[in-house]
Amino acid sequence: MRTRMTGFPSGGGGQMILGAESERGDIAGLEPLKTFRSRWPAIIGAVLTLAMIGGLARELFGNGLAGLSRSVPSDPRFYLCFALLYMSPPTGDYVIFRRLWGIPVAGLVALIKKRIANEVVFGYSGDAYFYAWARAKAQMVASPFGAVKDVTILSAIAGNGITLAMVAIALPLSRELLPPEMFRTVLGSAGITFAISLPFLIFSRRVFSLPRATLWWVFMIHCIRLMCGSLLIALAWHFAMPDVTIAMWLFLAAGRLLVSRLPLVPNKDLLFANFAILLIGQDQALSELIAFTAALTLLVHVVLIILFSAHAVATRARG
């Protein structure tokens, strides 16, 4: 009696079919991982957007609304300078990445979100968001990590370099104004700022991936952006309080940049406000102006995040 087997041909054909089915099974098993890898930039962007909304709500309903409820500058030139000041960081980054990658104008939105995330979530979270955005635009740039890393490091070095220059100019002038403990804190912070930047300069060939000429160009753009920012905030404050000379506001703008970079100072806004009051007096008016500027920045953050989120939802609905 013969036993008849059906369903598989004899010889190696059965092994081939089994191998093909096994291969299809392996591919099917890899598809969820592949889908996750293709979607992780969007996931990171969504998480950071929610974090930005939470951070903005916390800041705005903390001290932000109190700042907005105080005296409001009436000169429209204050708001023009403020708008230019707000846009100076993302515009500087856009100029850089436009040359490096040829990003479209839509990339400016991602760079504004980068700034908001860095300010209200935690340091460099915005850079992580922008890296995820660049990875999602793989057809535009194949390997964005090196450029994002170099631009971020050079931004920090430019800020530290200008800060050290401000320290060299401001400390001799403010030695008599600052208490001895605060003076030593500023001096120690300046030393740490210099020490942080030094390794990147010594090992620059191992740290950076862009060509040297491009690195110097990026560094120059960061320096111009920082100097323009200091000039714009000085002009904005001068238009809000015109009885204080523009020269004094420029000095205070340099002090603001200096204080924002000091690593050992726990409350930078308070230190800057005290330093400014020591120089020009007008305690209440100056405190209200600084609070209003900070609160207005938070309010613009909130408005832009709402607009960007609404546009993303509408675009997804149309798609």
Which run of H or of E encompasses 126? Answer: helix 125-136
- From residue 13, give the alpha-carbon distance in Å to each of 17, 20, 37, 212: 6, 11, 36, 60
53 and 312 in contact (C-beta within 8 Å)?
no
For the chain, the average pLDDT equals: 75
pLDDT-based confidence at residue 32 (cuts at 50, 70, 90)? very low
pLDDT of residue 54: 64
Mean pLDDT of 206-226: 93
Instruction: Please list, residue by residue across 120-155, b when 16 or more beta carbons sit within 10 angstroms of its beta carbon and e when fewer do.
Output: bbeeebbbbbbbbbbbbbeeebeebeebbbbbbbbb
Other CB atoms closer than 10 Å to residue 314's CB: what's the count?
A: 10
Q: At what angle do helices 13-59 and 283-318 cross, to 10 degrees?
A: 150
Mean pLDDT of 293-303: 85
pLDDT of residue 109: 92
- From residue 130, give the alpha-carbon distance in Å to each of 37, 57, 156, 318: 17, 22, 17, 25
- Using a 10 angstrom Cβ sphere, with 0-12 exposed, 13-18 middle and 19 or more buried, the burial of residue 185 is middle
Torsion of CA 133, 53, 95, 260, to 10 degrees: -130
pLDDT of residue 213: 94
pLDDT of residue 104: 87
pLDDT of residue 77: 95
Mean pLDDT of 118-126: 78
Q: What is the pTM of this model?
A: 0.74
pLDDT-based confidence at residue 269 (cuts at 50, 70, 90)? low
Mean pLDDT of 237-259: 82
pLDDT of residue 89: 94
- Using a 10 angstrom Cβ sphere, with 0-12 exposed, 13-18 middle and 19 or more buried, the burial of residue 76 is exposed
* Residue 307: alpha-carbon gap to chain centroid: 19
Nearest one of 99, 83, 81 to 151, comparing CA atoms: 99
pLDDT-based confidence at residue 92 (cuts at 50, 70, 90)? very high
Q: Which two tokens stand for residue 117?
A: 């995330």
pLDDT of residue 28: 43
Could you give the CA distance from residue 93 to residue 235 in angstroms, rounded to a whole number? 23
Could you give the CA distance from residue 166 to residue 171 in angstroms, rounded to a whole number? 8
Could you give the CA distance from residue 186 to residue 206 in angstroms, rounded to a whole number? 31
pLDDT, greater one: 212 or 56: 212
Q: Which two tokens stand for residue 203?
A: 């090992």
Mean pLDDT of 24-48: 50
